[in-house]
Amino acid sequence: MIHSSSLLASAILALLCAITVHAADDYQEARRLHAQGNLTGALERVEAQLARQPRDARLRFLKGVILSEQGRQPEAIRVFTALTEDFPELPEPYNNLAVLYAAQGQDEKARRALETAIRTHPSYATAHENLGDIYAKMAREAYDKAPQLDSSNSTARVKLALIKDLFSQRPDGSPPLVRSTVPEPPSPPVPSVPAVATAAPQRPPAPAEPPPAATRPAPPPATAAAAGRPGADRQGGSRGEDDAADDVVQALQGWARAWSAGDVKQYLGHYAPGFRPPGGQSRTAWEASRRERVGKGKGISVQIQSPKVTFARPEEAVVTFRQIYRSASLNTSGRKRVTMTRSGSRWLILKEEVVR
């Protein structure tokens, strides 16, 4: 006999899969039109899908790429800037912003954007290459200025000639910065429906007969770890480190619960005074943006899976884990690394990073 709850779960899963497949088909069609050079058709596809999924990072990134290729640089800059604000952990929007800034001669803005991309994703080779080119361009301008101020400075002339030769293939002598033309931000995963139980839970086995009182070992002293809180993956650690690891994970779980509940005060209270916001933001600007997103988000659920704790020193812990984020407009997951510091009896977040 098939349970009605099983039928309902299957129907929901089928509907969610159909919606996800349809969205993926639209995205792939937009990608295909873009690859064929049909920028107008690709943009129409993207705009239509964004009307249904306004926060989809892939679609927004592709829109920015298309706008930049259409010569609509100010609009492309707005798209990529908004992406860096909504998804500061993604390096590609910073890279493409840098390319657009460099094309406008705003080398300092380009440099800052690329350095942010590298802080977000240290192994992002494209950003490293582009940053090198920006440094070379700025060096060329400095070397060009030196002989004007000191005509006897032959060393600067030699260096200037070397850099000009490096970029001699470009008519204007500028470095050919590389864009991120293939959208890399992660797509939302296919939503899952919890399995419906069809059998009664099994009775747990009876506990083993305890040893006689005369040979039974004395119980260890009660510790905070015995309170049933979620443990961290700590293999081979000392008892003290295991307890500290549990405290770290408990603090991180509290941070996730505050975020899920939209409790801005509790959420911000999990960050240390020395916390360094991503993207080079000031602490004031970062807190303002988090108040807006955490406090006004709808249906937010943040889960932490498989946390692993290591200690750089007794007062500092590094936790790697998978963060699963769900809201009314976005479902995504990814690996994160959080550095935490002990403040009295509390563990507070000092640094957040995305792990690729």
Closest CA to 258 of 286, 295, 308: 295
Alpha-carbon distance 109 to 113, whole Å? 6
Predicted pLDDT at 340: 93
- Three-state secondary-structure class, residue 303: strand
Query: What share of the chain has pLDDT > 70, as a percent?
Result: 63
pLDDT of residue 147: 60
Beta carbons within 8 Å of 128's beta carbon, 6+ residues apart: 118
Distance CA 65, CA 80 (A): 9
How high is the pLDDT of residue 269? 93
Q: How confident is the model at residue 167 (pLDDT cuts 50, 70, 90)?
A: low
Provide the pLDDT for residue 129.
Answer: 85
Cβ proximity of 304 and 323 under 8 Å: yes
Q: Give the helix/strand (H/E) hosting 270.
A: none
Q: Per-residue confidence at 288, pLDDT binned at 50, 70, 90? A: confident
Comparison of pLDDT for 188 and 119, the residue scoring more: 119
Q: What is the pLDDT of residues 229-286, one digit of tens each?
A: 444 555 445 556 677 888 999 999 999 999 988 899 999 999 998 888 877 778 888 8
Average pLDDT score over residue span 291-299 = 77
Task: For 98-127, write each residue's pLDDT tens digit.
Answer: 889 988 888 899 899 999 988 888 888 888
Looking at per-residue pLDDT, the higher value among 176 and 214 belongs to 176
Predicted local confidence at residue 254, as pLDDT:
93
Tens of pLDDT along 60-93?
A: 999 999 998 888 999 999 999 999 999 888 888 9
CATH of domain 55-166: 1.25.40.10
Average pLDDT over residues 168-184: 53
Judge contact between 204 and 352, C-beta under 8 A.
no
Is domain 229-355 given the CATH code 3.40.50.1400 in the classification? no
- Of 71, 105, 68, nearest to 83 by C-alpha is 68
pLDDT (mean) for 134-163: 66
Cβ–Cβ < 8 Å for 260, 300: yes
Q: Helix 4-35 and helix 57-69: axis angle, to 10°? A: 10
Q: Where in the chain is the domain with CATH 1.25.40.10?
A: 55-166
DSSP state of 66: H
For residue 222, give the DSSP letter.
P
Q: Where in the chain is the domain with CATH 3.10.450.50?
A: 229-355
Whose structure tokens read 């300092």? 108
